[in-house]
Amino acid sequence: MNFWRKGLAAGLALTLAFSLAACSTGGEQSAEGGKGGEKVEIVFARGKDVTGESKKIIEAFEKKHPNIKVKFKEMPADTGQNHDQLVTMFSSQSSEIDVFNLDVIWPAEFAKAGYLQPLDRYIEKDKINLNDYIPGAVEAGKVDGQQFALPLYVDAGLLFYRKDLMPEPPKTWDELIQKAKEAKSQGKTKFGYLMQAKQYEGLVCNFLEFISAYGGKVLDENGNVVINSPESVKGLNKMIEIANADFVPSNISTFMEEHSHTAFLEGQSVMVRNWPYQYALAQDQKQSKIVDKVAVAPLPAGDKGSAATLGGWMMGINKYSKHKKEAWEFIKFATGPEGQKIQAVHGGKAPTYLPAYDEEEVKKASPLFADKNFVNGVSAAVSRPVSPVYPKISEVIQIEVSKAITGKQSAEDALKNIETQLKEVVKK
């Protein structure tokens, strides 16, 4: 596929759509605060905020809504742990949190389980124009015709590299291997390449990028398991080769996003695979040793072209919240013009609100946001398998791919094992 030239709206619409059963609404209080207009506190939960943009969004929101206080609850950086903690809370009908961030792969599961408050009547009442948002990102929060979440930001895997040490990025994975070896052997940096290879959701994202670049798939259009193919074998073997090369950290199998971006910011590697937020961190003089030395490129290509895993986060309301209207006000602000601008400028997150890309401050925040190739190219991202049992699919892939990259089994055996287990998962 051509990463930089596909249409944004069409690609995201296809890759993000889910369809599952909806749930009912619950009781609420006034968005102006409690009875008599006293201050109401809502709890906002999200994963670790490494850039601090959530604090700035909360401050701006509270300034506009003096009767609503937002308490920030930091969830685990590990997406899987975040998911499991939320499920534990919601399954016990806890009202501990009111509004929270969801990975784009969660809305269908959470809506089916009855954890999410439908947003349609809030959207209609406040005349929110969903046409101003990336269509596919909106679709990710729609279940059986009801909107259960609004898009906060979109992600796609990208290659960040030291332009002062490597004038041109690698075009293919084989070229990346060559350039990474050269960088390490010449003593330019401690490592040639960084990725996310711990046994968690990030490993699945990296794995999908490798097999997709060589033509592999997990499920076909009809939901059939097709992962055990020569194309997938070739992609996984390339991933294994890189994960075991001497130009990556010897403990790469423990690396998540935070480990990768930190090592890159400290100048330890000439290249890193990460999400768009990496650029904002690289330009932060308080924590980066490589300010103005970083450039961005699509991930290297395999036999079938470049592929990037589609990611991103949404916002939803806990069905058991006692302050749903206040929670909605916060969602409306964070996903609207002001919140999206703050998030892009201070967090390096790619907006889902399309008019934000016309803001001069947003364009200056990252070369990505001023680059129409990036805005159009996000649509070349490949979705993770669209399935109501995705968490189980992910778990199987994590375990078997982790065994492969740590030398416990071959690529062929890993894919056979994944195929056997996924057929049972999909069948059930």
Whether 54 is covered by a domain: the verdict is yes
Residues 218/400, Cβ–Cβ less than 8 Å = no
Reported as a single tens digit per residue, the pLDDT across 354-390 is 899 999 999 988 878 887 767 665 645 677 876 778 8
Number of Cβ within 10 Å of residue 69's Cβ equals 16
Tokens of 391: 């968490």
Measured distance CA(312)–CA(257) in Å, rounded? 14
Whether 86 is covered by a domain: the verdict is yes
Q: Report the pLDDT value the prediction gives residue 8, as an integer from 0 to 100.
A: 39
Q: Report the pLDDT value the prediction gives residue 386, as an integer from 0 to 100.
A: 66
**Are residues 199 and 275 both part of a single domain?**
yes
**Are residues 148 and 286 both part of a single domain?**
no
**Are residues 405 and 279 both part of a single domain?**
yes
Reported as a single tens digit per residue, the pLDDT across 201-239 is 999 999 999 999 999 999 987 889 999 999 999 999 999
**Are residues 189 and 240 both part of a single domain?**
yes
**Are residues 280 and 378 both part of a single domain?**
no
**Are residues 139 and 83 both part of a single domain?**
yes
Whether 2 is covered by a domain: the verdict is no
Whether 99 is covered by a domain: the verdict is yes
In which residue ranges of the chain is pLDDT below 70?
1-37, 373, 375-381, 386
Whether 3 is covered by a domain: the verdict is no
**Are residues 128 and 106 both part of a single domain?**
yes
Residue-range definition of the domain harbouring residue 342: 8-155+310-382
Q: Report the pLDDT value the prediction gives residue 20, as an integer from 0 to 100.
A: 33
Q: Report the pLDDT value the prediction gives residue 91, as an integer from 0 to 100.
A: 97
Chain Cα centroid distance, residue 190: 28
Quickly list DSSP for 146-208.
Answer: EE--EEEEEEE-EEEEETTT-SS--SBHHHHHHHHHHHHHTTSSSBS-B---SSSHHHHHHHH
**Are residues 282 and 369 both part of a single domain?**
no
pTM of the model: 0.72
Whether 255 is covered by a domain: the verdict is yes
**Are residues 123 and 248 both part of a single domain?**
no
**Are residues 374 and 314 both part of a single domain?**
yes
Whether 260 is covered by a domain: the verdict is yes
CATH code (residue 407): 3.40.190.10
Q: Report the pLDDT value the prediction gives residue 5, as an integer from 0 to 100.
A: 37
Please state the domain count of the chain.
2
**Are residues 64 and 191 both part of a single domain?**
no
Whether 191 is covered by a domain: the verdict is yes
In sequence order, which residues have a C-beta less than 8 Å from that of residue 1 and are 6 or more positions away? 304, 305, 306, 307, 380
**Are residues 124 and 237 both part of a single domain?**
no
